């Protein structure tokens, strides 16, 4: 790949990583009871946790790429 394409991909990965970190923070906030999750959020949280346990969802350091 060219350097330009690699930089674009890295920027996209960083953006996705930031979004996932915000989502995880929201999940943790809801899970520790600061704010009670809505019924549909409970289902999504359960799916996310199951995916994370089965290694279908995994955060990695961008530096590892």
Q: Per-residue pLDDT tens for 19-45? A: 998 888 888 877 776 777 789 988 988
Q: What is the DSSP letter of 61?
A: -
Cα separation, 43 vs 62, whole angstroms: 29
pLDDT at 11: 92
- Neighbouring CB atoms inside 10 A of 48's CB total 15
pTM of structure: 0.46
pLDDT at 9: 92
Cα separation, 49 vs 58, whole angstroms: 11
Distances (CA, A) of 24 to 3, 13, 30, 38, 58: 31, 16, 10, 16, 11
Q: What is the mean pLDDT of residues 35-62?
A: 83
Q: What is the mean pLDDT of residues 43-60?
A: 84
């Amino acid at each position: 790949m060219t350097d330009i394409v690699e930089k674009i991909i890295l920027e996209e990965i960083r953006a996705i990583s930031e979004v996932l970190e915000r989502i995880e923070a929201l999940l943790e906030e809801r899970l520790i009871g600061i704010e009670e999750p809505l019924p549909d959020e409970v289902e999504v949280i359960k799916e996310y946790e199951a995916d994370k346990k089965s290694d279908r969802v995994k955060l990695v350091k961008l530096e590892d790429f």
